[in-house]
């Protein structure tokens, strides 16, 4: 620790929704930390500087990380390897490299390969929205949300503790997990729901018998919720599905079997089967609310900025 700060200088690579939220969260909760940043997109760099997402935006990743104690890669999962490659030669010897990627095994492998001599501890704040880019971030994104840290075997406990303190300072609750288990859990709780949302919105927009105007006009709550999720960033989600392929295909297989069972229940008029499932799923929703993880609460993890947009 440096004084009571877990890290004195934090560099953020990728200044979109996650990178911007980390920057704003650090400014709000860890004043005194020096914040530098870089994004591959010049327009994003300019906007990040205007919004003050970090103290200083640099024209190269190497310059942004040169003096950092903690570097957080906030780029799409498929860009982690090249982002790590760009900083490898510029890092301070004792610097910790982490990330926020939505899948963990492939990122861990990419970072370990690109940064063989560096301390690397991957992480995933399970918090986000369907928005992306330098205008999407907000300081409260991580409040009361889980951040899953997936330390590789042999990781320094002191660095794990400092990374934990960092995320807790931003308002998150931290859980330590094995990367393979993370990928399995997130496949069912996050990745498959996004795949289903992309599918249902795609199916609705391809119908010949129902016009797109009707879909928009009569979209009741359920469909509207799916359209929010299906508006999520295409690059980010392409990379998530390609990087967590095995776990997603596994969960998709289970889901398809369960969907077939429901199809059969509807065909044969098996109301008991439908009623039993819907009763069980209602209980899951109630448990989530009791856990305090209900997004519907107006003050929950959302800024005015986001609620308005």
Ligand X SMILES: NC(=O)C1=CN([C@@H]2O[C@H](COP(=O)(O)OP(=O)(O)OC[C@H]3O[C@@H](n4cnc5c(N)ncnc54)[C@H](O)[C@@H]3O)[C@@H](O)[C@H]2O)C=CC1
Ligand Y SMILES: O=C(O)C(=O)Cc1ccc(O)cc1
CB closer to ligand Y out of 9 and 194: 194
Spatial CA neighbour of 14 closest among 61, 62, 51: 61
> Cβ of residue 115: shortest distance to ligand X, in angstroms?
14
SS3 129: coil
CA distance 303 to 131: 13
Cβ–Cβ < 8 Å for 57, 45: yes
The entry of ligand X, ligand Y, none near residue 229 (CB within 5 to 8 angstroms by kind) is ligand Y
105 binds ligand Y (CB under 6 A): no
CB of 172 to ligand X, least distance (A): 11
Contact window for ligand Y (CB under 6 A) among 67-75, 77-85, 128-136, 282-290: 128-136
Binds 183: which of ligand X, ligand Y, none (CB < 5-8 Å by kind): none
Residue 21 interacts with ligand Y (CB under 6 A)?
A: no
Q: Which CB atom, from 6 or from 301, has the smaller least distance to ligand Y?
A: 301
- Looking at beta carbons only, is 109 or 302 nearer to ligand Y? 302
130 binds ligand Y (CB under 6 A): yes
Q: Which does 190 bind (CB under 5 to 8 A by kind): ligand Y, ligand X, none?
A: ligand Y
Q: Which CB, 140 or 190, lies closer to ligand Y?
A: 190
Question: What is the closest distance, in whole angstroms, from the C-beta atom of residue 210 to ligand X in the complex?
Answer: 30
CA dist 138 and 300 (Å) reads 13
CA angle at 150 for the pair 289 and 197, rounded to the nearest 5°: 50
Q: In what order do the strands lie in the sheet with 146-149?
A: 123-125, 146-149, 173-176
Q: Which one, 127 or 155, has the nearer CB to ligand Y?
A: 127
Pick between residue 5 and residue 44 the one whose CB is nearest to ligand X: 44
Residue from 105, 83, 129 nearest 233 by CA: 129
Nearest approach, Cβ of residue 86 and ligand Y (Å):
23
Characterize the bridge pairing of strands 70-73 and 96-99: parallel
Residues 23-82 that bind ligand Y (CB under 6 A): none
Closest separation between CB of residue 147 and ligand Y, Å? 10
- The helix (H) or strand (E) run that includes residue 202 is helix 192-206
Three-point CA angle 104, 130, 127, nearest 5°: 45
**Does residue 229 bind ligand Y (CB under 6 A)?**
yes
> Looking at 21, 36, 44, 129, which residue binds ligand Y (CB under 6 A)?
129
Tokens (6 digits) for 121: 């501890």
As measured in angstroms, the least distance from the Cβ of 252 to ligand Y is 17
3-state helix, strand, coil in the chain (%, to 5): 55, 10, 35
Choose from ligand X, ligand Y, none: what does 233 bind? Cβ within 5-8 Å by kind.
Answer: ligand X
How far is it, in rounded angstroms, from Cα 162 to Cα 9?
13
Q: Three-class SS of residue 93?
A: coil
Is 180 exposed, middle or buried (CB count within 10 Å of its CB: 0-12, 13-18, 19+)? middle
Give the chain's length.
309
Report the partner that residue 247 touches, choosing among ligand X, ligand Y, none (CB closer than 5 to 8 A by kind): none
Among the residue ranges 46-54, 122-130, 199-207, 285-293, the one whose residues contact ligand Y (CB under 6 A):
122-130
List of residues 6+ apart from 126 with CB closer than 8 A: 145, 146, 147, 148, 186, 190
Binding site for ligand X (CB under 6 A): 13-19, 38-41, 44, 61, 74-77, 79, 82-83, 100-102, 125, 128-129, 132-133, 136, 233, 236, 240
Binding residues for ligand Y (CB under 6 A)? 102, 126-130, 190, 229
């Amino acid at each position: 620790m440096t004084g009571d700060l877990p890290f004195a200088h934090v560099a953020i690579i990728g200044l979109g929704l996650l990178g911007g939220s980390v920057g704003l969260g650090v400014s709000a909760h860890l004043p005194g930390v020096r914040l530098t940043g870089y994004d591959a997109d010049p327009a994003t760099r300019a906007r990040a500087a205007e919004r003050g997402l970090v103290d200083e935006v640099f024209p190269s990743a190497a310059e942004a990380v040169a003096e950092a104690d903690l570097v957080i890669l906030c780029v799409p999962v498929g860009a982690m390897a090249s982002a790590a490659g760009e900083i490898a030669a510029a890092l301070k010897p004792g610097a910790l490299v982490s990330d926020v990627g939505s899948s963990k095994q492939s990122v861990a492998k990419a970072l370990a390969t690109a940064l063989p001599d560096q301390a690397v501890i991957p992480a995933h704040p399970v918090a986000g929205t369907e928005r992306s880019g330098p205008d999407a971030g907000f300081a409260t994104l991580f409040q009361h949300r889980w951040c899953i840290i997936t330390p590789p075997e042999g990781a320094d406990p002191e660095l794990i503790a400092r990374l934990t303190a960092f995320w807790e300072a931003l308002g998150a609750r931290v859980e330590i997990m094995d990367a393979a288990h993370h990928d399995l859990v997130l496949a069912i709780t996050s990745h498959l729901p996004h795949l289903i949302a992309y599918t249902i919105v795609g199916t609705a927009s391809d119908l010949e018998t129902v016009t797109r105007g009707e879909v928009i006009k009569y979209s009741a709550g359920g469909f509207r919720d799916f359209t929010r999720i299906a508006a999520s960033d295409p690059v980010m989600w392409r990379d998530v599905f390609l990087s967590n392929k095995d776990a997603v295909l596994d969960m998709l297989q289970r889901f398809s079997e369960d969907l077939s069972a429901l199809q059969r229940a509807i065909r044969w008029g098996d109301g008991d089967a439908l009623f039993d499932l819907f009763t069980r799923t209602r209980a899951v929703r109630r448990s989530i609310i009791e856990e305090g993880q209900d997004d519907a609460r107006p003050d929950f993890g959302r800024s005015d900025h986001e609620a308005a947009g």
